[in-house]
Amino acid sequence: MPNRRQHDHLVSNKFRVEIDGVTQGAFAAVSGLESTTDVVTYADGSDLLVRKRPGRTNYSNVVLRRGYLENDELWQWYKAVADGAVERKAGSIIALADNGDEILRYNFFEAWPCRWQGFTLDASAPGTLVEEVEMVVEKIERG
């Protein structure tokens, strides 16, 4: 039986990331689930009000952070883009209940990596090696 009640807020530390054709390890953080819609204003000479309508919607880039794994699939995907071969993929970011069941899903489409950041090596600092991949997405839907 799940430990979560229906009125409990979701926690931000239980999630899974899926990307078509890329086997993933556990991610430490996901950010960039954001969209904005342009506001188009229009005024004419006979109307005392400025009218506003929705314009185009833009989706932010999604940034994935994870501890380094001996799995270079994300790097290879980024390297292909850097070499001029863009391979667009779809994927999902899934919020999980305490018992691992799916509660909420955001699906992203037409994604490709536009930035990869390697880890910082510092002999005096504790912690794990973390890599970061930023993906351009054309659309995000709540599934």
pLDDT in tens, 55-102: 999 999 999 998 877 778 888 999 999 999 999 999 999 988 888 888
pLDDT band at 11 (very low <50, low <70, confident <90, very high): low
- Using an 8 Å Cβ cutoff, are 30 and 17 in contact? yes
Q: Which residues, 6 or more positions from 134, have their beta carbon under 8 angstroms from its beta carbon?
A: 32, 61, 62, 63, 64, 113, 114, 115, 116, 117
DSSP letter assigned to residue 22: B
Query: Is the pLDDT reported for residue 23 higher than 70?
Result: no
Query: Is the pLDDT reported for residue 37 higher than 90?
Result: yes
* 143 Cα distance to chain centroid: 14
DSSP letter assigned to residue 70: S
Predicted pLDDT at 5: 65
Phi/psi at 77 (nearest 5 deg)? -65, -45
pLDDT band at 21 (very low <50, low <70, confident <90, very high): low
Torsion of CA 117, 22, 10, 62, to 10 degrees: 40
- Residue-wise pLDDT tens digits, 97-132: 888 888 889 999 999 999 999 887 778 877 788 889
Give the predicted TM-score (pTM) of the model.
0.82
Predicted pLDDT at 101: 84
